[in-house]
Structure 1
Amino acid sequence: MHAPLLSARPRLRPAASRRRLVYGAGLVVAALALTGCSPAGTGPKASTEAIESDGKLTLYAGRDEALIAPLIEQFTEDTGIEVEARYGPSAELNALLLEEGEKTPAQVFLSQDAGALGSLANNDLVAKIPADLADSIPADYTSTDASWIGVTGRARVIAYDGKKFTEDEVPDTVDELTDAGWKGKVGFPPGNASFQSFVTAYRVLEGEMAAESWVKGISENAPVLTEKNGATLDLVDAGQLELALINHYYWYEKAAEVGADNMRAQLKFLPGDPGGIVNVSGAAILKQAAGDPDALAFIEYLVSEKGQQYFVDKTFEYPLLPGIDAPKGLPTLESLANTGFDLADLDSLEKTQELLAQYGLL
């Protein structure tokens, strides 16, 4: 039987800091709108429509609060714009936004993956990112129509118990994980947006029949279901689970805390395999907030040099703004690319969720 899957209810709370700059948020953003400068002063530029700033922003954040709250505080300190943040899994917030439609209080959605953003774009719930800002991120790692913008890159990997296996003994492809020899030895969080985007990528790259066969096979192989990537990695690192499907940066975050030499869990990258896709976190301005200078200022901040360096230093993700170095020790993004794969094709999130539910994984 599968382990029970816990759920997390999205919650609304203010950013940690409410300190304003000397000039106040309205004047700061008005100046930005007139000059086209990004709030950090070091990133890409974009123009805005002449809409008055109220110095406030409501954000739906599909990233962990511990990761994003300090960035929000930094943004508030730099711009004076106050942020009210609602945190929750990207898939749950995506469903909430689809339900709320244009009546949502959110102005910006920060998603853990591209699929949730594409889903909103397909339902005409997002505003276009200004072209000069959208073009600052390489085309392979952002939307094709400026409906959302890529913020960071993350590779899908297999985390394995380094005391039980060598890297060569770990599968090179996720297809092998359905073999009987791995029964009860593989864990993942099925409700996680990145896992769901991996399954979506499998559907796109290998076809619907192959994807259904894999989901059916893995569900019948007694997987250990968890709530989050970090919890799955912890099981491997404690010697309680052999393999885990996670994003690469969870290992690097934990290694930074406890020391890489103290990590029992190790990583195997899967270049070219559907299980090793490079997905992105990204952000979109909601349709009813089109032209809102506070919303645009936050988007600009995420892809500014200062914002990108924050993710490199704190989360060990790949920066997408050219000129920012990736964390040391990571393979290049180019070496992990799936030829012909378009992130826009991750927008069929609902079909993936239906497939996972069909075989008892949701």
Structure 2
Amino acid sequence: VKSVYDSEATKTTGLVNRLIAEKANPRADVFWNSETGRTIVLKQKGVLAPYKSPSAVDIPATFKDRDGYWSGFGARCRILIYNTDLINEDNLPKSIFELTEPKWKGKVSLAYPLFGTTATHAAALYANLGEAKARKLKEYGTFYSSLIG
């Protein structure tokens, strides 16, 4: 068995592309990742096989594929970090949803949300905020920050 890991050099997108390319002659038995969007692509392209794990019985339906192709089993935290020289603790947002308010315009940074777990995060924000507020967050935020890898 030769393990292939998702690292900075081989991000999930690359591994997903490899699985798609190897579909006719698969070399992997298990694919573990944290990107729901890419997992859905694998299902759509017929790369995955359904497996309804007995261990996933108690996982809420919201966190698994209805046809049994994948189950979410872990949570990932997102953390707001702020510059104490620029923002007083009393002025911190009480929720990420407050970042759509005008006072935060140009002061919010999020990694470019097309790939990686940030894409899943952006999709979840869009679903929870709705289109209008999600567009405000995009307008007010800086998604191309050179400070975020």
In the alignment, structure 1 residue 187 sits paired with structure 2 residue 117 = no
- Please name the residue that 1:160 is paired with: 82
- Please name the residue that 1:173 is paired with: 96
1:195 counterpart letter in structure 2: T
In the alignment, structure 1 residue 118 sits paired with structure 2 residue 58 = no
What displacement does 1:153 show?
0.8
Asked if 2 retains the 8 angstrom alpha-carbon contact of 1:175 and 1:214, the reply is no
Task: Provide closer, same or farther for how the CA distance between residues 163 and 89 of structure 1 changes in structure 2, counting only shifts above 3 A.
Answer: same
What displacement does 1:154 show?
1.4
- Please name the residue that 1:108 is paired with: 30
Asked if 2 retains the 8 angstrom alpha-carbon contact of 1:186 and 1:224, the reply is no
What displacement does 1:138 show?
4.2
Q: Which has the higher Rg, Structure 1 or Structure 2?
A: 1
1:118 counterpart letter in structure 2: I
| CA distance in structure 2 between the aligned counterparts of 1:194 and 1:146, rounded to whole angstroms | 22
In the alignment, structure 1 residue 133 sits paired with structure 2 residue 55 = yes
What displacement does 1:169 show?
1.9
Aligned residues, how many? Answer: 147
Q: Which of residues 109, 122, 125 in structure 2 aligns to 1:199? A: 122
Name the structure with the higher strand share: 1
| CA distance in structure 1 between the aligned counterparts of 2:51 and 2:81, rounded to whole angstroms | 36
What displacement does 1:193 show?
1.8
Identity of aligned residues (%): 20
Task: Provide closer, same or farther for how the CA distance between residues 164 and 90 of structure 1 changes in structure 2, counting only shifts above 3 A.
Answer: same
- Please name the residue that 1:218 is paired with: 141
Q: Give runs of ≥4 in structure 1 deviating > 6 Å.
A: none
Q: Any gaps of 5 or more consecutive residues in structure 1?
A: 1-55, 66-86, 228-362
Q: Secondary structure at the match of 1:116?
A: helix
Q: Any gaps of 5 or more consecutive residues in structure 2?
A: none
Task: Provide closer, same or farther for how the CA distance between residues 100 and 178 of structure 1 changes in structure 2, counting only shifts above 3 A.
Answer: farther
Task: Provide closer, same or farther for how the CA distance between residues 117 and 226 of structure 1 changes in structure 2, counting only shifts above 3 A.
Answer: same
> What TM-score, normalized by structure 2, do the two folds share?
0.68
Asked if 2 retains the 8 angstrom alpha-carbon contact of 1:143 and 1:149, the reply is yes
State the structure with bigger RCO (CA 8 A, min sep 6), 1 or 2: 1
Task: Provide closer, same or farther for how the CA distance between residues 187 and 176 of structure 1 changes in structure 2, counting only shifts above 3 A.
Answer: closer
Task: Provide closer, same or farther for how the CA distance between residues 121 and 223 of structure 1 changes in structure 2, counting only shifts above 3 A.
Answer: same
What RMSD, in angstroms, separates the aligned Cα atoms of the two structures? Answer: 3.5
- Please name the residue that 1:332 is paired with: none
| CA distance in structure 1 between the aligned counterparts of 2:134 and 2:14, rounded to whole angstroms | 23
Task: Provide closer, same or farther for how the CA distance between residues 176 and 208 of structure 1 changes in structure 2, counting only shifts above 3 A.
Answer: closer
What displacement does 1:188 show?
3.2
> What TM-score, normalized by structure 1, do the two folds share?
0.33
What displacement does 1:196 show?
0.7
Alignment of 1:288-327 (within 5 A): none
What displacement does 1:152 show?
1.6
